């Protein structure tokens, strides 16, 4: 069986190499890497196949094809053929990519959004797997998937970014989990560095930072996703520099997100001058993990970048999250799929009282990260996780004695709508909500499963922040 493996970022490419080396991807007669560049402005970024280290990626696959090149000038995320066009597209792709007429297996980065969603529709008989290299894997599925897709879902391959934490993505479908340990990714990074062109590690930022306390600031593209305004993202960027200065950094190296517009970096110059920190922009088109490996900064600072996890749990660097509390309080709707990555960044890299399950003590109580993530996932998508209702109610019952912690991660109105502990005072409640809450408390106390379908607001979520 031929296997198509979709990748939209270079970090995904590196993670897939680690998955291949770890034996986590399903076996295939021919393994084909499909590049689908997820950059917001591909004309201003280096193509995936031209980035340093891609030779290492290419060596793990039988062939590499480029969906971005085929669709140009449209971007892969815009690939959304109508249902009646699927057969035409299947014939085109099978011919153009020399796939033959035999059965296929798709390993998609995001089956919930394009281009993965559309490719799953185009190859209507293909077995479906997903892979994930980001904190989004711990979020619940963003919406109910059509039966034509959900019935073909087989497994999820994911990096163990938060050691021991069980993903919530696609949990309702009972897919197989294949976990890729971070040491496998570390070995890939070492290989890429060994194969780097001679002198590639020599640049101004390295010279400036040598022997001086250095912070690596990881940019994101939150305003492009609609999570904040442009002015708010500028202020957040300044906060990142201030945090670096407050921790004693003399040099601040800014690493823009590969999918972000290039103008974002210029907003940091004033803040750096005001704080007396030397700012260096690192535009090199490489994964943030390679930059960390090369520079070994004292601190890695961001809002809720996946790079915080790899910095802390792969490279042993001090990771610091900034702005997570404020963004959690205003993120809407509650089911926005960026919520769980924000929760993890707040719990692990802003606070100091949560630990990953593999590193936690035997009885973490209310600081149990797995229970927190499962409770947030249930409140985000209750219809997809009805079996988690009783556990969520029990966990929230514990948090009622810690109102500040409860209010940080959960919205009172959401809890009221779902009839869960921590809800708003009963004054003004409908009789339906009162009965729902009474039933939940009764069932939890008796150890019974919680029944009933709570009402929920439906709203589309912005694209995932990678």
206 pLDDT higher than 70: no
Mean pLDDT of 400-406: 96
444 pLDDT higher than 60: no
Query: Does residue 225 or residue 168 have the better pLDDT?
Result: 168
Q: Which of 127-136, 333-342, 431-440 has the lowest mean pLDDT?
A: 431-440
Confidence of residue 221 (pLDDT cuts 50, 70, 90): confident
Confidence of residue 453 (pLDDT cuts 50, 70, 90): very low
68 pLDDT higher than 70: yes
Q: Which of 131-140, 254-263, 312-321 has the lowest mean pLDDT?
A: 254-263
* pLDDT tens digits along 362-399: 899 999 999 999 999 999 999 999 999 999 999 999 99
Confidence of residue 433 (pLDDT cuts 50, 70, 90): low
* pLDDT tens digits along 149-165: 999 999 999 999 999 99
192 pLDDT higher than 80: yes
- What's residue 270's pLDDT? 83
Mean pLDDT of 404-428: 90
Confidence of residue 427 (pLDDT cuts 50, 70, 90): low
466 pLDDT higher than 60: no
- What's residue 201's pLDDT? 46
Return the ∠ at Cα 289 (arms to 286 and 290), rounded to 5°. Answer: 50
Query: Does residue 307 or residue 207 have the better pLDDT?
Result: 307
In sequence order, what are the residues at sequence separation of 6 or more whose Cβ sits closer than 8 angstroms to the Cβ of residue 20? Answer: 31, 60, 61
Q: Which of 72-76, 208-212, 445-449 has the lowest mean pLDDT?
A: 445-449
pTM for this prediction:
0.89
Mean pLDDT of 402-419: 95
344 pLDDT higher than 50: yes
* pLDDT tens digits along 72-117: 999 999 999 999 999 999 999 999 999 999 999 999 998 999 999 9
What domains are there in the chain, each with its CATH number? 2-191 (3.40.50), 203-326 (3.40.50.1980), 352-445 (no CATH)
């Amino acid at each position: 069986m031929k296997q198509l493996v979709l990748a939209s970022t270079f970090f995904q490419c590196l993670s897939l190499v680690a998955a291949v080396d770890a034996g986590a991807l399903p076996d295939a007669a021919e393994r084909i890497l499909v590049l689908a560049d997820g950059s917001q402005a591909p004309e201003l970024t280096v193509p995936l196949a031209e980035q340093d280290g891609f030779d290492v990626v290419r060596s793990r696959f039988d062939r590499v094809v480029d969906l971005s090149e085929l669709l140009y000038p449209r971007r892969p995320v815009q690939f959304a053929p109508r249902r009646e066009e699927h057969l035409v597209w299947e014939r085109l792709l099978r011919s153009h990519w020399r796939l033959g007429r035999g059965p296929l297996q798709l390993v998609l980065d995001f089956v919930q959004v394009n281009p993965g969603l559309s490719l799953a529709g185009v190859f209507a008989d293909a077995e479906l797997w997903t892979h994930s290299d980001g904190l989004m894997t711990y979020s619940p599925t963003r919406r109910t998937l059509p039966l034509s897709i959900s019935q073909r879902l087989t497994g999820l391959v994911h990096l163990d970014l938060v050691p021991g934490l069980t993903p919530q993505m696609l949990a309702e479908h009972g897919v197989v989990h294949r976990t890729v340990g971070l040491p496998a990714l570390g070995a890939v990074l070492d290989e890429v560095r060994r194969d780097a062109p001679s002198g590639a590690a020599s640049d101004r930022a390295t010279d400036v930072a040598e022997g001086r306390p250095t912070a690596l600031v990881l940019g994101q593209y939150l305003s492009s996703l609609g999570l904040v305004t442009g002015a708010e993202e500028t202020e957040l960027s300044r906060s990142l520099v201030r945090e670096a200065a407050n921790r004693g950094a003399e040099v601040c190296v800014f690493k823009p997100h590969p999918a972000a517009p290039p103008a974002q970096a210029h907003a940091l110059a004033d803040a750096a001058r005001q704080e007396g920190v030397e700012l260096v922009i690192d535009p090199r088109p490489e994964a943030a993990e390679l930059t960390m490996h090369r520079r070994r900064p004292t601190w890695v600072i961001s809002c809720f970048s996946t790079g915080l996890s790899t910095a802390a749990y792969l490279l042993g660097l001090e990771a610091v999250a900034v702005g997570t509390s404020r963004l959690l309080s205003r993120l809407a709707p509650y089911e926005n799929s960026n919520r769980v990555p924000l929760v993890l960044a707040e719990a692990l890299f802003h606070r100091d009282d949560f630990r990953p399950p593999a590193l936690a003590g035997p009885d973490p109580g209310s600081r149990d990260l797995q229970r927190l993530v499962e409770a947030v996932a249930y409140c985000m998508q209750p219809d997809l996780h009805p079996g988690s209702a009783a556990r969520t109610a029990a966990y929230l019952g514990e948090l009622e004695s810690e109102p500040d912690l409860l209010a940080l991660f959960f919205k009172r109105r959401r809890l009221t709508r779902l009839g869960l502990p921590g809800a708003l005072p009963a004054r003004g409640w409908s009789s339906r909500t009162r009965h729902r809450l009474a039933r939940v408390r009764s069932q939890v106390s008796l150890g019974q499963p919680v029944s009933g379908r709570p009402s929920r607001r439906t709203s589309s979520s912005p694209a995932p922040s990678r």
